[in-house]
Copies of this chain bind each other. A is one copy, B any other.
Amino acid sequence: MNRFFDPKSIAVIGASPDPMKGGHSILFNLLQGYRGTIYPVNPKYDKILDLSCYPSISDIPGPVDLAIVFVPAKQVPSIVRACAQKGIPGVIVESGGFAETGDEGLALQQQLVDIVRTTGIRIWGPNCMGLVDARRNYVFSFLTPSVWNFGLTPGTVSLVVQSGMLAGGFLIDIMSHGRMGISKALSIGNKVDVNETELLEYLIQDPETEAIGMYLESIVDGRRFLELCAASPKPIAVLKGGKSRGGARAALSHTASMAGDHAVVRSGLLQAGVVEVDDFRQLLDVSRGLSMFPNASKASRGRTAILTFSGGAGIVSADFLEANGLELAELSDATVEALRRIFPEWMPVANPVDLWPAVERNGGQIAYETAMMAVAGDPNVDMVLLHLYSGGFALNFDMKRAIDALHRAKKPIFAWLLGDRDHAQQSLQEIQALGVPVLRELQRAADVMKAVVERGRWVSQVGYRKPDATFIELPKHMAGLLGNGRGMLDEHLSKQILAEAGIPVVKEQAVNSAEEAVRAARSFGYPVVLKGLMRHVLHKSEQGLVRMHLRTEPELRAAFEEMAGRIDNQDTIVVQQQVEGRTELIAGIVRDPQFGVCVMAGMGGVLTEVLNDKVFLVAPFDEVQARYMLGRLRSRKILEGFRGEQPLDVNGFARILVRMGHLALSYPGIQEMDVNPFIVKDGQAIAVDANIVLK
């Protein structure tokens, strides 16, 4: 990959002297920062922008590390072949006109795939904006040269984007607003060869990148992608386009990308410690915040001190904390004491800390510095949200000492800044230079704080785990069935397999007579449930094939006789202990096209079905990961012992989920599995109904 990022020589195929053409922009942009050898290629010209121009690739005298191709799509395959012949290791194809334009383009793209396979040349693109490196002033892109009016501000965040706009126009937007610098911006387009996963791997190693922000419409190699994320010491934020049905359809036509089920993607990212965002600037703000406070596990409780000049803004900030899973810190006595000394006597000290009267009395320097130093030393404070104002003047006090103290105490600090356009802009840059992310909206400040805390929580609660898959040995006949069977296994058989895999299932027995039924019931204890397992009947209750609350032998006998009349000879009748418990859970197995075997878990009943409150775990995973993800259910309160019920043994349920993952990994014949419900009795989840679907 290094040849893409640090080539000693670059050929520009499709170079042009016409300033309105992309082939001109590429050359122009190279000349601004790139110091290696540049070979324009175009048979029509001898010189372009004072550089010798070559009629063809084979005419280039020296070795070439990288070719940037910007010619009509139809010519691209032969050009790339020529590059391969010349021994150029990598090509960035920036031309559009491939899979995103229909069948003809798709065929051209397929040719590129073939060339990669047969020649070993690496292709970046097509249909992309290439590569920008703001640290080196490299712009390997047809990006409009007006970007140089604003300059490339070097920073620590690198971006990988599956959208030309983000790497192009948006870059100009960011740079001109001076809100943040970047390290690298990589536009990957149709990713016929080089993809987000490979670039992620590169950036994780890149010493000039401290956090990574990605806009993705699809994830090509999902499992590898998540493995990289989960092992990355650098925080990663992802904006996934195509979450909605309409968005997914649009993504398919935009970069010919297939967006997976977003509920699975969301869970996969969470499990891997990635912060998910929803908007473009939010991606930048969050990435920048994460780069400033990566892996802030010390702040993972999120107890925040709000230091403000405005009571109203303090109140609204407190509301945002709660809405984002953070909390108002209870200030220690020492902090209260320190603040009392600068506060007027009538003013009670509380968090949010309204500094205005103290500013009026002591000036901004003393008021803010006293407060910041106090919370820096306060064991009850994990992080700080600072409200600042520079209207009609830039910030007229020096915060360096206090900010340094907070940095030393490893307390993330964030600023919300109000003020007039120019002074606020100046203050923003001064404060950010001191290592404090500055946001102009409270909502966005809350987004960034939440991201830093969530990353810190993940690092401290989950961390860089790489659990192994344990093979689950099943009895031969079961293994054989899972290997060769087809279709859906009945409830009884499914639960027998679960039981062999170490998953607690309800006591039940298949019975052939009322006599057998009564014996079974006696051994389990009443009440019992009687079920008729008819093949192809999924909704047994609706078909009268479930009789619950059977409390006595006569009731059971009567129910058996009736059930025997309803079902066919080959079908099974099962007597089942009736498990009493008000909490129901569900779990299942899916094979996701992007991530492979995933275990789904959620609350039973309406919560999952109506509110879609469920999580997915990419297998294999361990109990720690399962517990973490169960903690992300909106309805997790139920698991903690709702309505005086005994709380769920979460570790036990986590073990069950781990085993379901192992089972599916051990037996690829298992296509799907649903356990619905697990009933929680005395804190233990017991599988009461289940089915396994084979290929």
Contact = CB atoms under 8 A, between A and B. Distances in A.
Interface of A: 97, 100-102, 104-105, 144, 146-147, 149-150, 161-166, 169-170, 172-173, 175-178, 215, 217, 239, 241-247, 249-251, 253-255, 278-282, 309-316, 318-323, 327-328, 344, 346-348, 350-352, 354, 389, 391-393, 418-422, 424, 440-443, 542, 549, 603, 605-607, 609-611, 634-635, 637-638, 642-644
Given A606-B642, A642-B606, A642-B610, A311 B255 contact: yes
Nearest to A604: B606
Contacts of A643: 609
A322 B244 contact: yes
A54 B242 CA distance: 69
Contacts of A611: 607, 611, 634-635
Contacts of A149: 392, 420
A440 B281 CA distance: 9
Contact of A421 (B161, B177, B217, B391): B177
A419 B173 contact: yes
Contacts of A347: 101
A210 to B, nearest CB: 24
Contact of A318 (B247, B312, B424): B247
Nearest to A555: B551
A242 to B, nearest CB: 6
A172 B312 contact: no
B609 A606 contact: no
Contact of A163 (B164, B311, B391): B311
A146 B310 contact: no
A85 to B, nearest CB: 30
Nearest to A105: B346
Given A173-B419, A421-B176, A610-B637, A165 B320 contact: no
B253 A348 contact: yes
A172 B419 contact: yes
A280 B316 contact: yes
Nearest to A313: B165
B348 A318 contact: no
Contacts of A309: 165, 169
A172 B420 contact: yes
Given A163-B313, A169-B309, A241-B316, 17 more contacts: A146-B391, A146-B420, A163-B310, A165-B418, A166-B312, A169-B419, A173-B391, A176-B419, A177-B420, A242-B315, A254-B314, A255-B311, A278-B316, A281-B440, A607-B607, A609-B642, A610-B635
A247 B351 CA distance: 10
Contacts of A173: 391, 418-420, 424
A653 to B, nearest CB: 17
A603 B322 CA distance: 24
